[in-house]
């Protein structure tokens, strides 16, 4: 599209529905160049006219946040409504790798002993686990990260179609996401790499000079800043137009209404963490059973045998971590649904879902 067309008329703007595939009418539509704000389509080309909000006549300002209550209740409602389609995604991308991770970790670490010199504080590790299991554990780390990104992308798609009241099943969501997988994984890995790089540089500096530990509060603030400014990267990569950059779009969206938006993201994280804790309480008895029969830790507490922590029962430990994996998946799903609705509230552009009437399915079926 070029910007050579005239500016829009001064009359009230038409409704903000996206242009149809054929013969789109002139109007204000989500800006396809950056996914933030609106741009005037004159019926043939995009013009240079842009705005961050729409006029009256029933058009709500999509660059500001709506009321807190409806957003929060809507997040929980969509989360519960689409749980039948999120569960298969949970099984495919979270649960199995969680079980594999726990089994590999149990074999890799169970006979390891950590000794602490109470006088000097020196720590020595006597590794006694399986090296093969340790290799598997290391390989599962990036795999679990990538699969979690795909899971959250599928949840974002489910939240989008639920908001549009389109009963798309989870298989169709995965099919829709297939051409976007590289974009989703790349953007999410890039965001995570930023966090890890910042933390890694800090600890390297602390090792070089312990005085740098005084900078720890500032590092925490920097990580929180990045977490906030990049909050929409995964959502944009999953449901935003492919021509919209996830990082630039998230950065621009979070430059407005900063304190209210940050507060909602923190509130969402706290509520989702409570969901994780609630599920964790169910796993606690299983992990306690796993620990029965283990040799107690020595009273001097100078050594830590990981077998005392992991317990002798692999089955009980794996089952406990399986329940915890369900909690982690529920946590990720709720955060993703809430973030998706915030993205829509702020006027973020999406590839609008479509439905073939002949392919409609009953809500909640899988």
Q: Tens digit of pLDDT for each residue in 64-102?
A: 677 888 888 889 999 998 999 999 999 999 999 988 988
Residue 319 neighbours by CB distance under 10 Å: 18
pLDDT at 36 over 90: no
What is the CA angle 345-220-93, rounded to 5?
60
Nearest CA to 245 out of 230, 265, 258 is that of 230
The mean pLDDT of the chain is: 78
For tokens 């306690």, the residue is 288
**The pair of three-digit structure tokens given for residue 180, joined into one six-digit string:** 């976007």
Tell me what pLDDT residue 319 has: 81
Report yes or no: 215 and 272 within 8 Å, Cβ to Cβ: no
Candidate ranges 84-93, 95-104, 236-245, 252-261; pick with highest mean pLDDT: 84-93
- Prediction pTM value: 0.73
pLDDT at 148 over 90: yes
How distant is the alpha carbon of residue 7 from its chain centre? 39
Tell me how far CA of residue 156 lies from CA of 173, 248, 275, 349, in angstroms. 10, 19, 19, 13
For tokens 């009963």, the residue is 167
Please compute the mean of the pLDDT values over residues 328-333 and round it to a whole number: 92
Cα pseudo-dihedral 339, 340, 344, 347, rounded to 10: 70
Tell me what pLDDT residue 55 has: 44
Helices (H), 240-312: 246-253, 258-291, 306-310
Higher pLDDT, 108 or 120: 108
CA distance 13 to 30: 13
Largest CA distance in the chain: 81
**Main-chain phi, psi angles of 47, to 5 degrees:** -95, 180
Per-residue HEC secondary structure of 87-142 comes to HHHHHHHHHHHHHHHHHHHHHHHCCCEEEECCCCCCEEEECCCCHHHHHHHHHHHH
Assign 151 a pLDDT band (cuts: 50, 70, 90): very high
pLDDT at 306 over 90: no
pLDDT at 206 over 60: yes
CA distance 348 to 345: 7
Nearest CA to 349 out of 27, 25, 20, 32 is that of 32
CA distance 60 to 101: 47
CA distance 128 to 350: 51
* Residue positions counted in the chain: 366
Instruction: Tell how strand 113-116 and strand 303-305 pair up.
Output: antiparallel
Tell me what pLDDT residue 109 has: 81
**Main-chain phi, psi angles of 27, to 5 degrees:** 170, 175
By the 10 Å C-beta count (0-12 exposed, 13-18 middle, 19+ buried), 51 is classed as: middle
């Amino acid at each position: 599209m070029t910007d050579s067309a005239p500016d829009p008329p001064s009359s009230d703007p038409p409704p903000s529905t996206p242009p149809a595939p054929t013969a789109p009418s002139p109007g204000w539509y989500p800006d396809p160049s950056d996914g933030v704000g609106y741009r005037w389509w004159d019926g043939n080309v995009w013009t240079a006219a842009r705005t961050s909000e729409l006029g009256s006549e029933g058009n709500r300002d999509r660059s500001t946040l709506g009321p807190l209550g409806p957003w929060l209740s809507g997040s929980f409602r969509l989360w519960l409504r689409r749980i039948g389609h999120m569960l298969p995604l949970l099984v495919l991308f979270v649960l199995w790798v969680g079980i594999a991770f726990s089994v590999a970790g149990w074999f890799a670490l169970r006979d390891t002993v950590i000794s602490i010199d109470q006088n000097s504080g020196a720590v020595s590790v006597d590794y006694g686990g399986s090296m093969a299991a340790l290799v598997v554990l290391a390989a599962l780390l990036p795999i679990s990260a990538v699969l979690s990104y795909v899971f959250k992308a599928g949840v974002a798609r489910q939240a989008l179609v639920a908001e549009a009241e389109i009963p798309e099943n989870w298989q169709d969501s995965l099919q829709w996401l297939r051409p976007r997988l590289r974009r989703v994984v790349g953007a999410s890995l890039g965001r995570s790499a930023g966090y890890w790089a910042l933390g890694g540089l800090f600890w390297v500096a602390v090792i070089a000079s312990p005085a740098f530990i005084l900078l720890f509060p500032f590092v925490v603030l920097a990580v929180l800043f990045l977490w906030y400014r990049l909050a929409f990267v995964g959502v944009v990569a999953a449901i935003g137009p492919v021509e919209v950059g996830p990082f630039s779009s998230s950065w621009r969206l979070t430059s407005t209404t900063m304190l209210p938006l940050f507060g909602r993201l923190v509130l969402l994280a706290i509520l989702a963490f409570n969901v994780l804790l609630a599920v964790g309480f169910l796993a606690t008895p299983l992990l306690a059973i796993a620990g029965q029969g283990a040799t107690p830790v020595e009273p001097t507490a100078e050594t830590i045998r990981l077998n005392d922590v992991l317990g002798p029962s692999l089955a009980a430990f794996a089952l406990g971590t399986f329940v915890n994996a369900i909690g982690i998946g529920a946590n990720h799903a709720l955060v993703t649904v809430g973030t998706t609705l915030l993205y829509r509230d702020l006027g973020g552009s999406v590839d609008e879902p479509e439905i073939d009437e002949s392919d409609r399915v009953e809500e909640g079926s899988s």
